[in-house]
A and B are shown apart, each in its own frame.
Chain A
């Protein structure tokens, strides 16, 4: 009975937030030399937003950007040597993105540095309710899950602000899927 109750709770939680997936990247983490792990739910985001300066144009943009976000979950791993991780390590995440609602909107692979970037959207009705970003480079892996509605154009525009390095034309990946 207790097990049934736990299962029901987990099933309900999964149904409540289909745009959120498990960032089960233990095998990647085990090989990484350095990692960043950020998990912010809606309440924490709202709390953090109160400390953004509305008079600062950049911070005002961030406030607007996060207005529709219910959660942001990031795992970023760095490796000492190239090839320390394999694509198979990302399979647990990719398998979840094969589920209903998720669709890959864009993917790019660079023949120059071997970087592979994918952006997935979780669509419900005609609205985007979640985003998944997989950025895999020989020396680093970044997996991002944003629950809620976010304007990707505005997110990209954060590049060059707050210390975000703006992608230069020379850094562009070569191949588009």
Chain B
């Protein structure tokens, strides 16, 4: 088992990072996401916003339709009633 322990010790041995590693990491994080990523995020936001606006508009449309049908229902009942009366008299 000595060879295994030696292999493990070698593989897990503490190693110093290459020269300038920390500076490169800091510089990259300060630059932020790349231009392409920014555009992708903006496009995703536009798609989500457009989808939400479409869904809201559709909801409003169905709500307007529901109110219109309710108004016509309420208007129809008395006209139907009075028309049935006229029909009854004329027949």
Q: Which residues of A contact B (CB under 8 A)?
A: 36, 38, 40, 44-45, 47-52, 62, 65-66, 72-74, 76, 106-108, 115, 117, 119, 133, 135, 142, 144, 146, 152-153, 155-159, 162-167, 169, 171-173, 176
CA distance A152 to B73 in the complex (A): 13
Q: Which residues of chain A have C-beta atoms less than 8 A from B61's C-beta?
A: 47-48, 50-51
The residue in chain B whose Cβ has the minimal distance to the Cβ of A145 is: B75
CA distance A36 to B65 in the complex (A): 16
CA distance A35 to B20 in the complex (A): 76
Interface size on B, residues (CB 8 A): 28
- For the complex formed, measure the closest distance between the CB of B52 and the CB atoms of chain A, giving whole angstroms: 18
CA distance A51 to B59 in the complex (A): 10
- Also in contact, A155 and B75, with CB within 8 A (given A40-B68, A48-B64, A52-B65): yes
CA distance A172 to B80 in the complex (A): 10
- For the complex formed, measure the closest distance between the CB of B17 and the CB atoms of chain A, giving whole angstroms: 63
Is the beta-carbon distance between B84 and A167 smaller than 8 angstroms? yes
Q: Is B76 an interface residue (CB 8 A)?
A: yes
Write out, one digit per residue, whether chain B residues 49-83 have a CB within 8 A of any chain A CB (1) or not (0).
00000000010111011011111111111111111
Q: Which residues of chain A have C-beta atoms less than 8 A from B72's C-beta?
A: 62, 65-66, 72, 155, 158, 162
Is the beta-carbon distance between A159 and B80 smaller than 8 angstroms? yes
CA distance A116 to B79 in the complex (A): 12
Q: Is B32 an interface residue (CB 8 A)?
A: no
Which 4 pairs across A and B sit closest by C-beta, in order of nearness?
A135-B78, A159-B80, A48-B64, A158-B76
- For the complex formed, measure the closest distance between the CB of B26 and the CB atoms of chain A, giving whole angstroms: 55
**Neighbour of B77 across the interface among A47, A167, A169, A173, CB < 8 A:** A167
Q: Which residues of chain A have C-beta atoms less than 8 A from B64's C-beta?
A: 40, 44-45, 47-48, 51
- Also in contact, A163 and B73, with CB within 8 A (given A48-B65, A106-B82, A172-B85): yes
The residue in chain A whose Cβ has the minimal distance to the Cβ of B70 is: A38
Is the beta-carbon distance between B68 and A72 smaller than 8 angstroms? yes
